């Protein structure tokens, strides 16, 4: 079997390639140019060390269209984007995967901490959490379709990160001790600097939940739900961004208690575990990658949207982020948060 390993230059994708090579597969490395050329150099060096062939594919145009434009357009619409989800959907398991298959490879391998299983009864590929719960990346992969899962391999899915580092050290792989790479590859420090000249924005009023004016803001794209620092106002107590009023260009602030809600609506849902859902369904759901999965009920709403209601209120539910639904350790599916309900 010929496998193209999507190598980013990091320790995880490098070890994915090494593990698949040790299993006897015909391995080649495949790296995309999307933003950071340093990552390409590291991937080339890693492939050379392992003695495997390697290709570099320039995907800067499609990456800009599908990820960068989506990123700054989301902020312009007062949403908080999740670029890693879009990159997986359209770039890594989209353009890059398509190229690999066109080149005659049977499957692609990556360094994701997640698992893929084929259910013999339903004949569906199912996405499962990685064994290392602290590194599990299934949240970012909920958008994958059956045809993408069918030709993907995640050799790190049943390993702990510490095991991967130990194996890399023993194999003499450079970078085993390096710190984790940043979550968003094209953001160095503050996203606000990145979008500064890419979004339309205008100053407006900062108000409390009663409409009282407390100060002014520089432009709504530069604020996110739950933000406390950088508001430029003093209320004599900790205050947080609780809503972005795009229609009136107002930044609404309140107490931490005002950040908690138990219900939201999602759109553009993709389901992996099963195609037809018998609503309502009880799930464990996450409203962002770093949050803990919490008990919730998923059911249909109007206009093709889905309504997710948590047993307990969740902090800082944010439009534009993904809500991912789990059945035990399996990903049922997920969608984009479009509205928070009181």
Question: Which residues are marked as active site?
Answer: 87, 185
| Per-position DSSP letters for 265-283, written without gaps between them | EEEEEEE-S-SS--SSEEE
Q: Where are the alpha helices (DSSP H) in 51-107?
A: 60-63, 69-76, 83-87, 96-102
The backbone torsions φ and ψ at residue 70, rounded to the nearest 5 degrees and listed phi first, read -60, -40
For residue 239, CA distances in Å to 208, 218, 257 come to 9, 17, 10
CA torsion 219-223-224-226 (nearest 10°) is -130
What gap in Å lies between CA 309 and CA 283, rounded to an integer? 10
Q: Is the dihedral of CA 146, 147, 151, 154 positive or negative?
A: negative
Contacts of 288 (CB under 8 A, 6+ apart): 318, 321, 322
What gap in Å lies between CA 292 and CA 314, rounded to an integer? 10
């Amino acid at each position: 079997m010929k496998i193209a390993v999507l190598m980013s230059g990091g320790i995880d994708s490098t070890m994915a390639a090494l593990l698949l090579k040790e299993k006897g597969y015909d391995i080649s490395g495949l790296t995309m140019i999307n933003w950071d050329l340093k990552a390409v150099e590291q991937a080339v060096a890693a492939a050379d060390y392992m003695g495997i062939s390697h290709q570099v594919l320039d995907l800067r145009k499609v990456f800009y269209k599908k990820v960068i434009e989506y990123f700054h357009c989301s902020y312009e619409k007062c949403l908080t984007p999740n670029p890693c989800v879009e990159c997986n959907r359209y770039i890594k398991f989209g353009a890059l995967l398509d190229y690999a298959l066109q080149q005659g490879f049977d499957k692609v391998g990556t360094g994701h901490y997640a698992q893929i299983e084929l259910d013999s009864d339903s004949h569906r590929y199912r996405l499962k959490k990685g064994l290392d719960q602290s590194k599990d990346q299934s949240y970012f992969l909920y958008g994958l379709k059956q045809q993408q899962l069918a030709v993907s391999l995640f050799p790190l899915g049943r390993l702990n990160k510490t095991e991967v580092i130990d194996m890399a050290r023993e194999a003499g792989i450079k970078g085993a001790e390096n710190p984790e790479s940043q979550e968003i590859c094209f953001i160095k420090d503050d996203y606000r600097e990145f979008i500064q000249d890419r979004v339309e924005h205008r100053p407006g009023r900062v108000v409390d939940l009663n409409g009282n004016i407390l100060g002014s803001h520089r432009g709504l794209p530069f604020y996110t739900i739950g933000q406390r620092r950088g508001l430029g106002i003093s209320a004599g107590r900790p205050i947080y961004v609780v809503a972005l009023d795009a229609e009136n260009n107002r930044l609404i602030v309140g107490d931490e208690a005002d950040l908690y809600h138990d219900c939201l609506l999602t759109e553009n849902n993709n389901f992996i575990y099963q195609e037809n859902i018998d609503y309502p369904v009880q799930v464990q759901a996450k409203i962002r990658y770093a949050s803990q999965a919490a008990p919730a009920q998923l059911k249909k709403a109007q206009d093709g949207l889905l309504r997710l209601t948590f047993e307990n209120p969740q902090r800082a539910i944010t439009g534009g982020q993904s809500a991912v639904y789990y059945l035990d350790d399996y990903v049922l599916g997920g969608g984009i948060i479009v509205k928070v309900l009181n």
